[in-house]
Amino acid sequence: MHLNNRVLITGGSGFIGSHLCERLLGEGNEVLCVDNFYTGARHNIEHLLTHKHFDLLRHDITYPLSVEVDEIYNLACPASPIHYQLDPVQTTKTCVLGAINMLGLANRLKARILQASTSEVYGDPTMHPQTEGYWGNVNPIGPRSCYDEGKRCAETLFFDYWRQHKTKIRVARIFNTYGPRMHPNDGRVVSNFVVQALQNNDITLYGDGRQTRSFCYVTDLVDALIRMMKADDTVTGPINFGNPNEVSVHALAETIIDMTGSKSRVVCLPLPKDDPKRRQPDITSAKSKLDWLPATNLRDGLAETIAYFRWFLKN
């Protein structure tokens, strides 16, 4: 069998990373999964460990790494407020030093490198929906800044390497993504609500529940990342990836209660500091440059996610 590429995925045992590992192996690539297991989980990639073209390396990307690869997907970083606020200094180091180390590796190897950036670079946006040209409304000294500003600095580094060293970069701005293998205790709205509903606990809304999010199913996002990596080197991004169908947090809670048959009731708690009120991607650029559109509707994606958490909570 001819292997297409040797691909390095940092954060490869995480929620999105494990799905990306799976898909790239299925397409005939050799995959090197690198993770320090801070938020990633071995059970996410357990089924891949016996694959002859899959390698796992425990490593923290704040330290340099010397391997030989053709492509790098840089996904390593805790991505939920509960996890990235637990050690904010380490979160910033992962964003910034991790980017420097992976860009240095890509530059030496002349490899293509994709940065998993985030909609959080827009902060609590004053523009709606958010386009890639919007510079954001970010608090540089708040409790979310380690992640928001860390990812903004990583983008700066990517584009400076591109200008200074002609590194083959791609920057993907990822909006809310959900699906099987989400961390059950990451504090994110979908995993929170599903776990609470399955256990018939109160569903905790922050604020009045009128704040909105746009939810993209994980396999749709993985498709977007791979399309971007395969695109011409002129497609540097940043490009928004997400589902533009906006839904209120309260409506999401009601949908999950209905789909799980839960006896949970909805309770409201104070809104956390700097929590964005609205989040919706403008994906015009993804459509025109990569011919990408999310294909999974919310109820179908939630059905898969609920089934996963039913299994997870029993095991």
- Give me the DSSP letters along 96-125: HHHHHHHHHHHHHHT-EEEEEEEGGGGBS-
Torsion of CA 194, 42, 29, 154, to 10 degrees: 70
> What is the longest distance spanned by two Cα atoms in the chain?
58
- Residue 118 inside a domain? The answer is yes
- pLDDT for the residue 275: 66
Phi (first) and psi of residue 293, to 5 degrees: -145, 140
- Residue 102 inside a domain? The answer is yes
- pLDDT for the residue 1: 44
Q: Measured between alpha carbons, how far is 122 from 182 in angstroms, rounded to an integer?
A: 23
Active site residue 147: yes
CATH number, residue 82: 3.40.50.720
- pLDDT over 60 (residue 195): yes
- Residue 63 inside a domain? The answer is yes
Binning pLDDT at 50, 70 and 90, where does residue 302 land? very high
- pLDDT over 90 (residue 4): no
Q: Which of 39, 40, 31 is CA-nearest to residue 9? A: 31
Q: What range defines the domain where residue 126 resides?
A: 6-177+217-244+277-294
**What value does the mean pLDDT take over residues 56-65?**
97
Distances (CA, A) of 114 to 93, 209, 266, 293: 18, 34, 39, 19
Active-site option among 73, 122, 147, 217: 147
Q: Which of 124, 114, 146, 112 is CA-nearest to residue 4? A: 112
**What value does the mean pLDDT take over residues 39-52?**
95
CB crowding 153-183: b at 16 or more within 10 Å, else e: bbbebbbebbeeeebbbbbbbbbbbbbbbbb
Counted domains in the chain: 1
Q: Which of 212, 156, 215, 176 is CA-nearest to residue 79? A: 176
pLDDT tens per residue across span 238-282: 999 999 999 999 999 999 999 999 999 999 888 776 566 778 899
- Residue 57 inside a domain? The answer is yes
Binning pLDDT at 50, 70 and 90, where does residue 84 land? confident
- Residue 140 inside a domain? The answer is yes
**From the CB of residue 302, how many other CB atoms can be counted at a distance below 10 Å?**
24
- pLDDT over 70 (residue 120): yes
- Residue 269 inside a domain? The answer is no
pLDDT tens per residue across span 88-104: 999 999 999 999 999 99
- Residue 253 inside a domain? The answer is no
- Residue 205 inside a domain? The answer is no
The helix (run of H) or strand (run of E) holding residue 43 is: helix 42-45
- pLDDT over 80 (residue 148): yes
